[in-house]
Amino acid sequence: MNFAMAVQGNRPVQLEPTDPLYIHPSDQPGQLLVSTPFNGDNFDNWRRSVIIALSAKHKVALIDGSCECPAPTAPLHIFWQRNNAMVLSWLLNSLNDSIRNSVLYFEFARELWLDLEGRFGQSNKARLFQVQKDVSCLSQGDMDIASYYTKAKQLWDESSAVSAIPRCTCKKCECDINAKQQNYIEERRLIQFLMGLNGSYTAIRGNILMMVPFPSIRQAYSLLVQEERQRQVKTDTHFLTESASLSASLNKPLSIQDPSKTMQKKPDPARRSQLFCDHCKKPGHTIDKCYRLHGYPNRPTTRGRGGYVLPSNRRAYSTWTEHADQTAAPEPSTPAVPGLSAEQSKQLIQLLNNLSNGGSQKTSEQNNTGCHLAGPFSEEASGSW
């Protein structure tokens, strides 16, 4: 390859713009080859980005060894030194601080490049193993269709870069084996892509698999994106409908009711006529609200000047009838004495009542009653109460 054209005599050396030793006026040492400096991870991706940037400037020959350093007496030696310093500066700008300090004292761009490949470069087999493992575990998850396809496409391209797919190079093959092999690879990738979709895309996935001829990855991606957008439109329409209903309910004017109308409504006469009491045999109420059975509300016996006394037949009483066999008068409860049981309290109260009435009881009955009381019993305290 002709890297430069030197003319005999004292005439200056003429360099073509495509020559690796040609420096464009826009080239500067402070330029960046990649947007993200290399930090030790994803060396293969960073390496490919740097090679693409150097290829655009015709400087790849300075790092792959195809453009060797001329002799110190050669007219092109000064041009080579300038280009080597320019590429070396670009590579240093593409590294982070920690890695840059470890390669700062290299004099040639070729040596710096070989050192980075030796330290961070991974063998193709190990890298292929990692890529194939990521591809086999690929699934959509929480990603949308665009993000899922981008991730899958990145893994496929990386797998193609590290694996050597056999190709026919005889240029005499009439069966077009290279095109058939490429179609086979595309079909496998599409099936793998469809396998990783979420369960909500089962219907569209079945339609794609039944299409004849089998679609390409780009066509399947377009169908999936359209399906995703239709679902978003339905969701947005449903949300707008609910928002409009909520807004209409909030904007509805509140009706102010008359306080007199908010009072408790009177009982319906028609409904009261359907009620009947089985105890007093009168309509208008039921047995659970019968005053004759449960008693009238407590009222004063006199009301001043026009006072009155409730007649005896209007007072509460409890009578067992054949029609009210399900209701029984509650047994009067005995107040409990602290420290005694209910039975002991009942016996104690009965004894006190008998003493207050002046009744005399037998000594044996007193002893029997006292044995049920709580607390210690002694003969000294067994006298008369």
Q: Could you please report the per-residue DSSP string of 18-45?
A: TSTT---TT--TT--SSSS-B-SS-HHH
Neighbours of 122 (CB within 10 A): 14
> pLDDT tens digits, residue range 83-123?
999 999 999 999 999 999 999 999 999 999 999 988 888 76
Rg, C-alpha atoms of the chain = 52
- Whose structure tokens read 């209910």? 342
CA nearest neighbour of 196 among 153, 162, 238 = 153
pLDDT the model gives residue 338: 67
Neighbours of 278 (CB within 10 A): 16
> pLDDT tens digits, residue range 19-29?
888 888 888 88
Structure tokens given for 305: 């000047």
SS (H, E, C) 183-204: HHHHHHHHHHHHHCCCHHHHHH
Please provide the distance, in angstroms rounded to a whole number, between the alpha carbons at the two ends of the chain.
138
pLDDT the model gives residue 298: 64
pLDDT the model gives residue 152: 93
Q: How far is CA 182 from the centre of its chain?
A: 40
As beta bridge partners, residue 112 has: none
pLDDT at residue 181 greater than cutoff 70: yes
> pLDDT tens digits, residue range 311-343?
544 444 444 444 444 444 445 555 666 667 778
Burial class (CB in 10 A: 0-12, 13-18, 19+), 293: buried
Mean pLDDT, rounded, for 376-382: 44
> pLDDT tens digits, residue range 254-304?
455 554 554 555 556 656 567 888 778 788 888 878 877 777 776 555 554
Mean pLDDT computed over every residue of the chain: 76
In Å, what is the CA distance from 206 to each residue of 201, 202, 210, 234? 9, 6, 6, 22
Which is higher by pLDDT, 138 or 256?
138
* Residue ranges of domains in the chain: 42-122, 126-164+177-236
With left for phi above 0 and alpha for psi between -120 and 50, is residue 40 left, alpha or beta?
A: left
pLDDT the model gives residue 247: 61
Which is higher by pLDDT, 236 or 22?
22
Residue pair 189/156 in contact (Cβ under 8 Å)? The answer is: yes
Mean pLDDT, rounded, for 174-192: 88
Residue pair 43/112 in contact (Cβ under 8 Å)? The answer is: no
HSE value, Cβ hemisphere, 13 Å, CA-based, for 201: 24
Q: How confident is the model at residue 210 (pLDDT cuts 50, 70, 90)?
A: very high
Neighbours of 326 (CB within 10 A): 7
Distance CA 127, CA 121 (A): 10
What dihedral angle (degrees, nearest 10) is formed by the CA atoms of 338, 342, 343, 349? 60
Distance CA 148, CA 155 (A): 11
- Whose structure tokens read 């496998």? 188
pLDDT the model gives residue 282: 81
pLDDT the model gives residue 127: 81
28-37, 235-244, 367-376, range with greatest mean pLDDT: 28-37
Structure tokens given for 357: 């009435």
In Å, what is the CA distance from 144 to each residue of 134, 136, 147, 201? 18, 19, 6, 12
Distance CA 50, CA 52 (A): 5
pLDDT at residue 366 greater than cutoff 50: no
pLDDT cut 70: percent of the chain above it: 67
As beta bridge partners, residue 272 has: none
pLDDT the model gives residue 1: 42
As beta bridge partners, residue 276 has: 283
Residue pair 312/294 in contact (Cβ under 8 Å)? The answer is: no
Structure tokens given for 215: 């679609």
Q: Cis link prior to 25 (omega < 30° from 0)?
A: no
pLDDT the model gives residue 109: 92
Residue pair 187/195 in contact (Cβ under 8 Å)? The answer is: no
As beta bridge partners, residue 38 has: 95
Structure tokens given for 71: 């002799």
